[in-house]
Amino acid sequence: DADEKANANLVEKYIVENDVMIFSKSWCPYCTKVKDALRSAKIEFYSIELDKMGRDLSLFKLLIYIFIYYLAEGDQIQNALINKTEQDTVPNIFIKQQHIGGCDKTLEALKSGRVATLLNPPESEKKHKKVENDDLDSYDYDLIVIGGGSGGLACSKEARSFEKKVCVLDFVKPTPIGTTWGLGGTCVNVGCIPKKLMHQASLIGEYVHDSVDYGWSQLDQARQHSWSKMIESIQQYIRSLNFKYRVDLRSKGVTYENSYGEFLSPHRLKLTDKKGKTKEITGEKIVVAVGGRPKYPDIEGDQQYGITSDDLFSLKYDPGKTIVVGASYVALECAGFLHGIGREVQIFVRSILLRGFDQQMASKIGDYMSTIGMKFHYQRIPTRLECLEEGKPGKLRLHYRQTLESGEIEESYEDCNTVLFAIGREACTNELNLDKIGIEVNKANGFKIKTKEEQSIDIPWLYAIGDCIDEQTMPPGQPLELTPVAIQAGQLLAKRMFSNSTIKMDYYNVPTTVFTPIEYGAIGYSEEDALSKFGEDNIEIFHSEFVPLEWSICHHRDQVKTMSYCKLIVDKNTDRVIGFHVLSPNAGEITQGYALGMRLGATKNDFDMTIGIHPTCAENLTTLSVTKSSGDSAAQEGC
Ligand code: FAD
Ligand code: NDP
């Protein structure tokens, strides 16, 4: 019947989600014995105590729920296990979804090496496509990493800590207008670091306005923002980081080649340096960590006159009036800081803001940005970019097609000084010769390399990490092209490749923040995804609109004061918080703190029992009592 099926499904879920799954009872000495043995062998396992429901709080709640609703007699999970395995005792153990048995059989399997083989099958047993090998007796390197960005550097340094011979290649192909940069990849040179510093530049501009209500003298009207000074300070800092990375590789003994790598055969690479000099190297294992680069819309004049984020952060001239094309992370962040430092900005949105994110939050960001003066044009798609006047900046005309609310199509143009295309990114896989060595990329997903647990689906000794992977274990639709994700994946992969580690990257509950003028931090499910996965009856949403205290006395913030907002999406059955969203000043810092709680499976009760720090924006998440379903006002009153 339905209950039986639900229990069987739950058992299946545990087995599939955990490499080593132990169904146990807290008082059982055999359960303790087998767990101790696994611990001594440094093998990670997951266990649930069928009598006590385990130590994990969220799981505890989940199982309590099962108790109340399904378990009149208390051990239907065990019945489901008996049905599955015909074993009526605990521990009942599964490794990589194979039923091992009880304590004795597992200890035997540990001793014989079967457990290790199941967890780490020899290359020959892995189900890979057969690929012609180079037939080499020895290799120049134990590991070659292609790409010295966030993931590649982390992976190569970690591999070196196991005394492996490691080479990392990093080469930046100039943008169409000739911008290039040093070692460290996207984050350091043309991503997180300069972006966050420019975001800070724009926040400082706001604080200067705030200062008047805090008693500082009126602003000097002549005070201006200097683009060139900001670029100089940021680029100087970036150069120091480039230098630090080179020194770090040298001191750790990782060979660094400032060359472009491409495959000649599955273990052999051709390296080409900036002078065109070539050489060949071989590697036993190869990690592809080539990241991605911005796309152009493929319209007349795009590459000749337009720029992307790859150019913006070191642009030698003030961009002036800028049209930003695109409506995701990069587009909204860049538009936000350009406006914040006083440049006129218009945003061409093809469809919606921040696809993939919670759409209530996305529209709140849009409202905030429009209120402070940015102009959004929806359903507008560029068709041609024309140069009206050369210069730095020159004058450009961006022709576009727009679907009006009436359904009519309008063709028109907008003049500006700079057009920034921020319409997504593609993995740098097209010139690696991957097709020649039998590696498939997913053309529908930015030409990313198909992987499972960062290992290529096609070749067992080839791995990939970071922005260039189409990873099967990632939750669908999550934006996970993030620096800390690439770093952790690289470090864990190196440990798995060169030590006995079996710890895998966990792509769930990855926190992220969009650094728009009001920051937006998120973890877990969006409201849309939670509704479609769990159903309206099974989730409750708690929310609050609040005024950041620091803004409360600033008159120039009057129109946006009440726009800070937070919400928690809660699974009603388990009380577990499955979605965390906050729109406020410093949301990045707030979200990072709560990410730990979310990882540990925090429930709404845990949030409520957490003592807030007063007066902060973050404390609002500990006092949420208004549910969306009640229809009551979310506006917070008083302290
Ligand atoms: P990358 O860092 O891109 O490194 C790849 C390296 O490989 C590059 O140096 C590339 O030139 C080199 N390469 C490519 N092909 C070859 C080859 N054939 N031979 C040799 N070298 C090669 N993430 C965050 O977490 N927080 C943020 O705030 C944030 N802001 C961002 C802002 C912007 C504007 C952008 C574009 C990205 C931002 N990201 C942010 C995303 C983050 O930068 C990336 O997720 C991260 O850099 C990915 O690291 P990676 O190692 O996969 O690739
Ligand atoms: P995305 O792929 O997330 O978004 C692309 C945007 O461009 C969408 O709004 C899309 O619209 C629009 N678009 C695509 N093609 C066209 C076109 N031809 N004409 C007009 N608009 C178009 O890319 P991003 O570059 O913003 O971000 C890439 C990744 O980088 C993110 O997923 C994120 O992981 C990472 N990143 C992280 C940051 C952070 O942590 N703060 C900051 C910046 C980037 P539509 O919705 O209609 O498809």
309 CA closest ligand 2 atom index: 25
Tens digits of residue pLDDT in 420-467: 999 999 999 999 999 989 998 999 999 999 999 999 988 889 999 999
Mean pLDDT on 283-287: 97
Tens digits of residue pLDDT in 486-523: 999 999 999 999 998 999 999 999 999 999 999 999 99
> Does the pLDDT value for residue 54 go beyond 60?
no
**77 close to 66: Cβ distance less than 8 angstroms:** yes
The C-alpha angle 558, 564, 569, rounded to 5 degrees, equals 160
H or E segment to which residue 197 belongs = helix 192-213
Say how many Å lie between the CA of residue 481 and the centre of ligand 1: 8
Tens digits of residue pLDDT in 315-349: 999 999 999 999 999 999 999 999 999 999 999 99
Task: Determine which residue's CA is closest to atom 19 belonging to ligand 2.
Answer: 381
Say how many Å lie between the CA of residue 332 and the centre of ligand 2: 9
Interhelix angle 359-371/527-534, nearest 10 degrees: 160
135: left (phi over 0), alpha (psi -120 to 50) or beta: left
Tens digits of residue pLDDT in 159-190: 999 999 999 999 999 999 999 999 999 999 99
294 CA closest ligand 1 atom index: 36
pTM listed for this prediction: 0.83
Using the structure block, give the residue that is written with the tokens 């590459």.
303
Catalytic site includes residue 339: no
How far apart are alpha carbons 484 and 477 in whole angstroms?
18
Pocket of ligand 1 from Cβ distances under 6 Å: 146-152, 169-172, 185-187, 191-192, 195-196, 260-261, 289-291, 309, 330, 428, 432, 466-468, 481-484, 486
Q: CB-side exposure of 39: number of CA atoms within 13 Å?
A: 7
- Written as one string, the DSSP assignment of 438-506 is T--EEGGGTTEEEEETTEESS-TTEEE-GGGEEETTSPTT-----HHHHHHHHHHHHHHHHSS------
Contacts of residue 106, Cβ cutoff 8 Å, sequence gap at least 6: 34, 37, 38, 91, 93, 100, 115
139: left (phi over 0), alpha (psi -120 to 50) or beta: beta
Question: In the numeric block, which tokens belong to residue 272?
Answer: 């080409």
How far apart are alpha carbons 89 and 109 in whole angstroms?
18
How far apart are alpha carbons 573 and 580 in whole angstroms?
17
> Does the pLDDT value for residue 82 go beyond 70?
yes
274: left (phi over 0), alpha (psi -120 to 50) or beta: alpha
How far apart are alpha carbons 316 and 322 in whole angstroms?
15
| Sign, CA torsion 52/55/57/59 | negative
Say how many Å lie between the CA of residue 188 and the centre of ligand 1: 8
**577 close to 545: Cβ distance less than 8 angstroms:** no
How far apart are alpha carbons 490 and 154 in whole angstroms?
6
Pocket of ligand 2 from Cβ distances under 6 Å: 297, 325-331, 333, 350-352, 355, 381, 422-425, 479, 481-482, 512-515
Q: Given this model, what pLDDT does residue 56 score? A: 44
**412 close to 400: Cβ distance less than 8 angstroms:** yes
For the chain, what is the mean pLDDT?
92
Task: Determine which residue's CA is closest to atom 18 belonging to ligand 2.
Answer: 297
Q: Given this model, what pLDDT does residue 3 score? A: 74
**Residue among 187, 238, 272 to mutate when testing ligand 1 (max atoms within 8 A of CB):** 187
Ligand number nearest to the C-alpha of 187: 1
356 CA closest ligand 2 atom index: 3
Residues of the chain above pLDDT 90, percent: 79
Task: Determine which residue's CA is closest to atom 28 belonging to ligand 2.
Answer: 424
Ligand number nearest to the C-alpha of 366: 2
Q: Given this model, what pLDDT does residue 540 score? A: 98
How far apart are alpha carbons 363 and 367 in whole angstroms?
6
How far apart are alpha carbons 542 and 605 in whole angstroms?
12
Q: Given this model, what pLDDT does residue 58 score? A: 54
How far apart are alpha carbons 372 and 261 in whole angstroms?
46
Mean pLDDT on 461-484: 90
pLDDT band at 57 (very low <50, low <70, confident <90, very high): very low
How far apart are alpha carbons 403 and 556 in whole angstroms?
35
How far apart are alpha carbons 292 and 429 in whole angstroms?
8
| C-alpha separations of 608 from 496, 603, 604, 605 in Å | 39, 9, 6, 5
How far apart are alpha carbons 265 and 457 in whole angstroms?
17
Say how many Å lie between the CA of residue 483 and the centre of ligand 1: 7
Q: Given this model, what pLDDT does residue 70 score? A: 46
**385 close to 299: Cβ distance less than 8 angstroms:** yes
pLDDT band at 80 (very low <50, low <70, confident <90, very high): confident
N-terminal to C-terminal alpha carbon distance within the chain:
52
Q: Given this model, what pLDDT does residue 226 score? A: 96
Phi, psi at residue 4, to the nearest 5°? Answer: -60, -45
Say how many Å lie between the CA of residue 206 and the centre of ligand 2: 26
Task: Determine which residue's CA is closest to atom 2 belonging to ligand 2.
Answer: 424
Of residues 215 and 2, more confidently modeled = 215
> Does the pLDDT value for residue 132 go beyond 90?
no
Tens digits of residue pLDDT in 540-590: 999 999 999 999 999 999 999 999 999 999 999 999 999 999 999 999 999
Ligand number nearest to the C-alpha of 381: 2
How far apart are alpha carbons 138 and 160 in whole angstroms?
18
Least confident of 68-77, 167-176, 473-482, 596-605: 68-77
How far apart are alpha carbons 116 and 208 in whole angstroms?
61
Q: Given this model, what pLDDT does residue 531 score? A: 97
Task: Determine which residue's CA is closest to atom 49 belonging to ligand 1.
Answer: 150
Q: CB-side exposure of 356: number of CA atoms within 13 Å?
A: 15
Nearest residue to 540 (alpha-carbon basis) of 568, 503, 582, 519: 568
pLDDT band at 125 (very low <50, low <70, confident <90, very high): very low
Nearest residue to 577 (alpha-carbon basis) of 547, 608, 554, 614: 608
> Does the pLDDT value for residue 91 go beyond 70?
yes
Q: What is the ipTM of this complex?
A: 0.96
**Residue among 350, 365, 515, 516 to mutate when testing ligand 2 (max atoms within 8 A of CB):** 350
How far apart are alpha carbons 511 and 417 in whole angstroms?
36
Mean pLDDT on 339-360: 97
Nearest residue to 52 (alpha-carbon basis) of 64, 42, 43: 64
**Residue among 195, 290, 449 to mutate when testing ligand 1 (max atoms within 8 A of CB):** 290
> Does the pLDDT value for residue 126 go beyond 60?
no
Say how many Å lie between the CA of residue 389 and the centre of ligand 2: 29
**Residue among 186, 425, 462 to mutate when testing ligand 1 (max atoms within 8 A of CB):** 186
